[in-house]
Amino acid sequence: MGLTKDFFIMLSENQALNEAAKKYGLSLGANKVVAGVDIPSTITAIKDLNSKGITATVDNLGEFVFSKEEATKAKEEIIAMIKALDNSGVKAHMSIKLTQIGLDVDKEFCYENVREILMAAHQHGHMHINLDTEDYKHTVQTFEILDRLKGEFKNIGTVIQAYLFRATDDIEKYRDVRLRLVKGAYKETPDVAYQNKEDIDENFIKLIEQRLLSARTMTSIATHDDKIIEHAKKFINQHNLNKDLIEFQMLYGFRTELQEEIAKQGYQFCVYVPFGQDWYGYFMRRLAERPQNLQLVTKSIFTPEVNKNIAVGAGAVAAVSALAVIATKLRK
């Protein structure tokens, strides 16, 4: 059975499975890819990363927010984490998704929430806040809010997705804004995005080179792709670029040995650290972005006991069967 990007994106958008995973996911081993369910456990995980010369960007997981009450609760959780990060002295900052704090409820309400978060971060060590981008429609809205705030706040940044045609222009527009460069993990139409891996990879490399030669502030290269990592390192050395303004990023729980190896080579390294019970949509999009990550599922999440119970033998069947088990539990 071929596992495609569309397959995992479809799963990530299933609200029933998302709710089921929120309740049962960590009992199935999701702690391999989620740093903690609360602030103390997440801080502990970040301290471990810091001890290895690795910083963190922290994501308060959350999906399907359609009320002001839910958005306000998420905003308060983010601010509580900002305060905890500052008080603990760890090397970390926050990444936020605007749909979690009200973008689908009311755009102006969301803008005020973002501004409140930025104010709190500024008061706590001038902490950086990254506005994560999502699907195309929400990316456009996120950039509109960024444009309103970047003059007032210097501790704000965002993400450029290489599969979008507009990415080249955005790289140029945001030369003075801290950026994370990624391939992109949503399903987009051919009129706004590249559709095949080769074109996306080629554009990703072009964007990395464009950004590194023109940036006036920090650039994060977020990928698990060996070829792109090696190309970026070679480009950095060939052009004698300032490594203080460049970092590599990977996801928590993925390729930990390589993370530590790159950090030991003298490059700045940051790990994207998700926390909370709402892990399901996040993880499915990681599989959509790089289906090879399914090996992590079968090795780390689906333990021998779990695999025995759901009677699976192949990776694809394991993924589908486990999700079915979660859905079955929800109905009980």
211 a known binding residue? no
Whether the CB-CB separation of 322 and 306 falls below 8 Å is answered with yes
In three-state secondary structure terms, 1 is coil
CA distance 57 to 71: 20
The verdict on whether residue 185 carries a ligand-binding annotation is yes
φ, ψ of residue 297 to 5 degrees: the values are -60, -50
Given the residues 59, 170, 178, 180, the one annotated as active site? 180
Encoded amino acid at 284, one letter: M
97 is annotated as contributing to ligand binding = yes
- 126 annotated ligand binder: no
Which among 132, 170, 201, 278 is annotated as catalytic? 132
User: Are 219 and 211 contacting, i.e. CB atoms less than 8 angstroms apart?
Assistant: yes
Structure tokens at 98: 């605007």
184 is known to lie in a ligand binding site? yes
Please indicate if the annotation marks 224 as binding a ligand: yes
H/E run at residue 110? helix 107-123
**223 marked as part of a ligand binding site:** yes
Residue 183 annotated as binding site: yes
| CA–CA gap between residue 293 and residue 223 (Å, rounded) | 12
Distances from the Cα of 78 to the Cα of 38, 53, 250, 251, angstroms: 11, 24, 21, 19
The verdict on whether residue 253 carries a ligand-binding annotation is: no
Please confirm, yes or no, whether 132 is among the known catalytic residues: yes
Alpha-carbon distances, residue 283 vs 69, 187, 209, 239, 297 (angstroms): 25, 15, 29, 36, 10
Q: Output the known binding site for FAD.
A: 161, 183-185, 197, 223-224
Residues contributing to the annotated binding site: 97, 161, 183-185, 197, 223-224, 285-286
Q: Which residues are annotated as a binding site for substrate?
A: 97, 285-286
- List the catalytic residues: 132, 180
